[in-house]
């Protein structure tokens, strides 16, 4: 997992000299240079000092977890030392990335890599007879996110630090991150996650920077000394927001940013009067209510939770973050009218969209700006990123709830809406048009449209892939887009190569460094140099050997977690992501069943040995998704026990998908399943991680798959199925599902076997809801795409049997996906949205 040859503690000039002399033969290379002995000694002394003085432990009593904490504390010191270089310097402009989710994973390998001390730490621990892998394994994942949206925020933070873009990440310090998934007889059970149980060595509590966030109450008028009137919100309740800062270390530690996560605390720890009167539980009730705000991450992945607590979470962190940055701006610059020159605020989806009225309130009610000046400042400072167009995932809040919880904000929203509708009607507008562009949806009770609110409050609104951005313009935001056609821009997502290539796949990274030089570590565009070796048999053999080694390692993990043994020589076919109907894990399972039947029917054919891996969590209340997990597990059970298919087909559902599990699956994958219904996956980012690591994609023309195809070339990807326009056409034809099923014997065979209880003999009706969805309605067009998916999968089989062309394609995937670096994405945001200098 951790780095070997590539991220040693060597100085930059040494690494580049080595690169210039990189041998051109693909024979095994001599061992990498080891860090200087004194570096190792200094590091070992630092770790031992932390173990003794911060943990009160000796090497004899230290567990892996203690070594982890001691090492993390020693590295945090170095991050602080690195950040001290810029401490006290006020940068011209900062980015503030507001996100309800940061799906970080572990930080040790990230910190060691970017501090350039991976080998030093390894040697320092080895000298104490401590294994770095075991220590790294003792770090819990910070799983403060559900999926793509939260992981994107984490990649962006790492890239901003590496590009030296001055930035704060702002979010919530949840006590409990995303639940741990336990699979019992195929059934998902959610267990609370406890990443903070033994403390968190990376963070600093900043009690002195706490602020107060209000809820409820009423709005009064106050006469100012100059005779003017101002509205003042008088909240009925206040909650204290306490920040915790985690240093985000950029590559080479040349720049360090902070991720500032807010914890909710009661203003008073205890109601002493009540306690003394004998009401010991009631005395802390108030506190429990306040602290509930940062207790747990919503595992909803998109469906607006609809709970009051969720709105309280959103306002809590948005208000605290805005107060924090406004206070900093006033301290540094004085006048809030210059805020847009020195601060950019990015809203990661609509979760922080309440920033629009909250910033207006802070500027107008608290700091006395005119409405016009405040609106100018707000709309020049905010940016909004949309991450989904699925109607059920678009946030709206009942007006009644907003009025009760945030009365002043509701007034401001009404005022913004009134001015907006006035402006729109100037150009003559029908009531239907006004209803479409209004901030208030009145079609089923009055609700505030958070997407519209973010759109109006932002200077730029962006989608996350070319297709998604175009669909934003044509569908959900079409009426608003027509009012300001420059506002929507595209910013295709990216991933940080430091985590997803250098740290997760050190073997492949070492090979790339050998081939094109260490400069590839600083600028992924040099990966393109690998294309020259794509046909080279010796290079192919080395590339394949790296993959083989990762597959063996993954096989050990899967066997440990599931008891299922995998053959590392088989094609590893992986679908790893949240379980959602639109992502179509069910299509993959149907194909698996059809393949199982085909092998059974012709057992003597030369089938390509395949391992199908599934991993992902379902939202706790999403019954169809949970049933899909159960089906995958039940299919695995039957297929793996059938001697007729042994050695040809193996299926496994790997429990508790996480960032860390992704880091071990991705380097071991041969085939990447990206098979969403076209038009529904906004971008995808797992698709990029897998392609970078050399898995070939089987996918639809959806999200960033389209751009991946454009980069790797049509010969190096397996595309199938309807495109977004085709999906719209077919969806307009009622009854298409039954026609598709009637036309495909293979699909019928698979469906019938599932419907007849072929995988649930004790309960034949178990998968009825899944079968019914396909036969009546099939919202996600599995039946329409099935046959073409089958065809593409057989093309994959054939390609796997031609290793020369397979490995050529794999190498070309690695060589041609450099553009998907989140460094590129962050440069684009910096230039076109934030107008902030890079570096
Ligand atoms: C949630 C839901 C829940 C209701 C059913 C439909 C549905 C569809 C999508 C979502 C996800 C909401 C937000 C989200 O996580 N979007 C993801 O953002 C990633 C980063 O931009 C992107 O790569 C994924 O394609 C997108 O789904």
DSSP 582-602: GGTHHHHHHHHHHHHHHHHHS
Residues 502 and 624 in one domain: yes
DSSP letter at 232 equals E
Residues 517 and 406 in one domain: no
- The pLDDT assigned to 644 comes to 96
Backbone φ and ψ of 215, nearest 5°: -145, 145
Dist. CA 50–CA 656, nearest whole Å: 32
Q: Rg for the chain (alpha carbons), in Å?
A: 28
- The pLDDT assigned to 613 comes to 98
Pocket lining: 120 vs ligand 1, CB cutoff 6 Å: no
Q: Is 239 within a domain?
A: yes
Residues 451 and 502 in one domain: no
Place of tokens 């949205």: 833
Residue owning the nearest CA to atom 11 of ligand 1 = 302
Burial 146-162 (b: 16+ CB within 10 A, else e): bbbbbbbbbbbbbbbbb
Dist. CA 181–CA 626, nearest whole Å: 11
Backbone φ and ψ of 371, nearest 5°: -55, -45
- Among 99, 154, 178, 301, name the best residue to mutate to test ligand 1's pocket (greatest count of ligand atoms within 8 A of Cβ): 301
Residue owning the nearest CA to atom 2 of ligand 1 = 302
Tokens of 830: 């910096």
Q: Is 789 within a domain?
A: no
Question: Residue 384 Cα, ligand 1 centroid: separation in angstroms?
Answer: 15
- The pLDDT assigned to 765 comes to 98
Residues 392 and 508 in one domain: no
Pocket lining: 38 vs ligand 1, CB cutoff 6 Å: no
**Which residues does residue 672 pair with via DSSP β-bridges, in sequence order?**
574, 697
Residues 398 and 385 in one domain: yes
Pocket lining: 588 vs ligand 1, CB cutoff 6 Å: no
Residue owning the nearest CA to atom 10 of ligand 1 = 302
Pocket lining: 387 vs ligand 1, CB cutoff 6 Å: yes
- Among 393, 490, 825, name the best residue to mutate to test ligand 1's pocket (greatest count of ligand atoms within 8 A of Cβ): 393
Dist. CA 411–CA 408, nearest whole Å: 5
Pocket lining: 152 vs ligand 1, CB cutoff 6 Å: yes
Q: Is 739 within a domain?
A: no
Question: Residue 726 Cα, ligand 1 centroid: separation in angstroms?
Answer: 21
Residue 54 Cα distances to 47, 70, 74, 77, 575, angstroms: 10, 8, 10, 13, 42
Pocket lining: 393 vs ligand 1, CB cutoff 6 Å: yes
Question: Residue 470 Cα, ligand 1 centroid: separation in angstroms?
Answer: 17
- The pLDDT assigned to 305 comes to 80
Residues 555 and 623 in one domain: yes
Pocket lining: 392 vs ligand 1, CB cutoff 6 Å: yes
DSSP 390-447: -GGGS-EEEHHHHHHH-HHHHHHHHHHHHHHHHHHHHT---HHHHHHH-SEE-BTB-E
Pocket lining: 147 vs ligand 1, CB cutoff 6 Å: yes
Is residue 760 classed as helix, strand or coil in its secondary structure?
Answer: coil
Residues 465 and 483 in one domain: yes
Pocket lining: 451 vs ligand 1, CB cutoff 6 Å: no
Q: Is 618 within a domain?
A: yes
Pocket lining: 301 vs ligand 1, CB cutoff 6 Å: yes
Tokens of 73: 């504390």
Among residues 522, 96, 118, the alpha carbon closest in space to that of 328 is found at: 96
Distance of CA 13 to the CA centre of its chain: 35
Among 118, 137, 156, residue at a domain's last position:
137
Q: Is 32 within a domain?
A: yes
Q: From the alpha carbon of 464, which atom of ligand 1 is closest?
A: 21
Residues 322 and 459 in one domain: yes
Among residues 470, 479, 478, the alpha carbon closest in space to that of 427 is found at: 479
Question: Residue 286 Cα, ligand 1 centroid: separation in angstroms?
Answer: 35
Q: From the alpha carbon of 146, which atom of ligand 1 is closest?
A: 15
Q: From the alpha carbon of 152, which atom of ligand 1 is closest?
A: 20
Q: Is 798 within a domain?
A: no
Question: Residue 386 Cα, ligand 1 centroid: separation in angstroms?
Answer: 9
> 387 exposed, middle or buried (CB, 10 Å; 0-12, 13-18, 19+)?
buried
Pocket lining: 681 vs ligand 1, CB cutoff 6 Å: yes
Q: Is 790 within a domain?
A: no
- Work out how many domains the chain is built from and give that number: 3
Backbone φ and ψ of 564, nearest 5°: -90, 130
Q: How many helices (H) and strands (E) does the chain have?
A: 34, 25
pTM score above 0.85: yes
Dist. CA 27–CA 31, nearest whole Å: 12
Planar angle of CA 101, 102, 107, nearest 5 degrees: 160
Pocket lining: 683 vs ligand 1, CB cutoff 6 Å: yes
Contact 699, 789 (CB under 8 A): no
Question: Residue 777 Cα, ligand 1 centroid: separation in angstroms?
Answer: 22
Catalytic residue list: 387, 577-578, 583, 685, 689
Residues 354 and 397 in one domain: yes
Per the structure, the complete domain to which residue 605 belongs is given by 497-727+810-820
Among residues 83, 105, 102, the alpha carbon closest in space to that of 257 is found at: 83
Residues 300 and 414 in one domain: yes
Report the chain's terminal Cα–Cα distance, integer Å. 29
Residue 187 Cα distances to 143, 340, 576, 614, 806, angstroms: 22, 50, 18, 14, 37
- The pLDDT assigned to 17 comes to 35
Question: Residue 302 Cα, ligand 1 centroid: separation in angstroms?
Answer: 6
Pocket lining: 148 vs ligand 1, CB cutoff 6 Å: yes
Residues 320 and 436 in one domain: yes
Q: Name the pairing type of β-strands 610-615 and 571-576.
A: parallel
Residue 209 Cα distances to 205, 262, 272, 461, 653, angstroms: 9, 10, 26, 31, 45
| Full 3-state SS string of 5-32 | CCCCCCCHHHHHHHHHCCCCCCCCCCCC
Longest dimension (CA), the chain: 93
Question: Residue 168 Cα, ligand 1 centroid: separation in angstroms?
Answer: 24
- The pLDDT assigned to 37 comes to 80
CB atoms under 10 Å from CB of 180, counted, come to 18
CB atoms under 10 Å from CB of 421, counted, come to 17
Residues 472 and 544 in one domain: no
Place of tokens 């993954």: 554
- The pLDDT assigned to 268 comes to 85
Q: Which residues of the chain have pLDDT under 50?
A: 1-24, 27-28, 30-31
CATH of the domain at 568: 3.40.50.2000
Question: Residue 80 Cα, ligand 1 centroid: separation in angstroms?
Answer: 35
- Among 102, 149, 496, 690, name the best residue to mutate to test ligand 1's pocket (greatest count of ligand atoms within 8 A of Cβ): 149
Q: Is 591 within a domain?
A: yes
Question: Residue 35 Cα, ligand 1 centroid: separation in angstroms?
Answer: 44
Pocket lining: 209 vs ligand 1, CB cutoff 6 Å: no
């Amino acid at each position: 997992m951790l780095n070997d040859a590539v991220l040693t503690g060597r100085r930059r000039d040494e690494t580049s000299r080595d690169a210039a002399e990189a041998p051109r033969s693909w024979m095994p290379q001599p061992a990498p240079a080891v860090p200087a002995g004194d570096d190792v000694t200094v590091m070992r002394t630092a770790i031992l000092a932390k173990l003794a003085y911060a943990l009160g432990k000796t090497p004899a009593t230290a567990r892996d977890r203690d070594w982890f904490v001691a090492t993390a504390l020693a590295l945090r010191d170095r991050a602080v030392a690195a950040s001290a270089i810029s401490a006290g310097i006020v940068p011209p402009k900062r980015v503030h990335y507001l996100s309800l989710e940061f799906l970080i994973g572990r930080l040790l390998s990230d910190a060691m890599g970017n501090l350039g001390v991976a080998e030093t730490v390894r040697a320092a621990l080895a000298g104490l007879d401590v294994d770095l892998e075991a220590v790294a394994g003792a770090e819990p994942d910070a799983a403060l996110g559900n999926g793509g949206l939260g992981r994107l925020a984490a990649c962006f933070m790492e890239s901003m630090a590496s590009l030296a873009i001055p930035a704060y990440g702002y979010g919530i310090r949840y006590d409990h991150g995303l639940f741990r998934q336990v699979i019992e007889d195929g059934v998902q059970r959610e267990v609370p996650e406890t990443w903070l149980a033994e403390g968190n060595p990376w963070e600093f509590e900043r009690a002195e920077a706490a602020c107060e966030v209000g809820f409820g109450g009423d709005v009064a008028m106050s006469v100012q000394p100059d005779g003017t009137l101002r509205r003042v919100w008088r909240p009925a309740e206040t909650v204290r927001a306490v920040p915790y800062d985690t240093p985000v270390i950029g590559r080479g530690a040349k720049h360090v940013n902070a991720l500032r996560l807010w914890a909710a605390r009661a203003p008073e720890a205890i109601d002493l009067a009540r306690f003394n009167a004998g009401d010991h539980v009631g005395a802390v009730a108030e506190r429990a209510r306040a602290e509930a705000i940062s207790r747990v991450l919503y595992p909803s992945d998109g469906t607006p939770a609809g709970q009051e607590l969720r709105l309280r979470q959103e306002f809590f962190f948005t208000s605290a973050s805005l107060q924090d940055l406004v206070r900093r701006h006033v301290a540094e610059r004085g006048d809030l009218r210059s805020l847009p020159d020195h601060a950019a605020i990015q809203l990661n989806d609509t979760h922080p969209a309440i920033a629009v009225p909250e910033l207006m309130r802070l500027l107008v009610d608290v700091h006395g700006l005119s409405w016009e000046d405040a609106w100018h400042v707000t709309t020049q400072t905010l940016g909004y990123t949309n991450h989904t167009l699925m109607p059920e995932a678009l946030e709206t809040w009942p007006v009644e709830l907003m009025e009760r919880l945030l009365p002043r904000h509701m007034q401001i929203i009404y005022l913004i809406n009134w001015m907006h509708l006035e402006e729109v009607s100037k150009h003559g507008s029908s009531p239907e048009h006004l209803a479409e562009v209004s901030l208030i949806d009145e079609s089923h009770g009055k609700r505030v449209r958070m997407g519209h609110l973010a759109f109006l409050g932002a200077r730029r609104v962006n989608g996350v892939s070319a297709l998604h951005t175009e669909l934003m313009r044509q569908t959900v935001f079409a009426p608003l887009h027509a009012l300001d056609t420059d506002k929507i821009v595209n910013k295709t997502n990216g991933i940080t190569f430091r985590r997803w290539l250098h740290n997760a796949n050190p073997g492949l990274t070492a090979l790339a460094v050998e081939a094109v030089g260490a400069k590839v570590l600083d600028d992924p565009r040099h990966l393109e140099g690998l294309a020259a070796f794509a046909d080279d048999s010796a290079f192919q053999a080395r590339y394949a050997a790296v993959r083989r080694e990762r597959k063996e390692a993954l096989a050990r993990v899967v066997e440990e977690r599931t008891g299922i043994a995998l053959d590392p020589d088989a094609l590893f076919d992986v679908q790893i992501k949240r379980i959602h109907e639109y992502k179509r894990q069910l299509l993959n399972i149907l194909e698996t069943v059809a393949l199982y039947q085909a092998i059974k029917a012709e057992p003597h054919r030369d089938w390509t040995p395949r391992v199908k891996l599934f991993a992902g969590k379902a939202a706790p209340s999403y019954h169809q998704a949970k049933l899909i997990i159960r089906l995958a597990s039940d299919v695995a059970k039957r297929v793996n026990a059938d001697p007729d298919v042994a050695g040809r087909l193996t299926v496994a559902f790997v429990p508790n998908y996480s960032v860390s599990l992704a880091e071990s699956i991705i380097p071991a994958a041969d085939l990447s399943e990206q098979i969403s219904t076209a038009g529904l996956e906004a971008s995808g980012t797992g698709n990029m991680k897998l392609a970078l690591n050399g898995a070939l994609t089987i996918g639809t023309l959806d999200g960033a798959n389209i751009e991946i195809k454009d980069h790797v070339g049509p010969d190096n990807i397996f595309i199938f199925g309807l495109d977004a326009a085709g999906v719209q056409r077919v969806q307009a034809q009622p009854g298409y599902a039954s026609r598709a099923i009637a036309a495909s014997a293979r699909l019928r065979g698979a469906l019938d076997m599932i419907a007849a209880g072929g995988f649930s003999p004790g309960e034949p009706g178990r998968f009825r809801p899944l079968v019914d969805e396909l036969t009546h309605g099939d919202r996600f067009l599995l039946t329409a795409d099935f046959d073409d998916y089958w065809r593409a999968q057989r093309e994959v089989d054939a390609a796997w049997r031609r290793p020369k062309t397979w490995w050529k394609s794999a190498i070309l995937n690695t060589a041609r996906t450099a553009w998907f670096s989140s460094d590129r994405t962050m440069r684009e945001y910096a230039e076109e949205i934030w107008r902030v200098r890079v570096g």
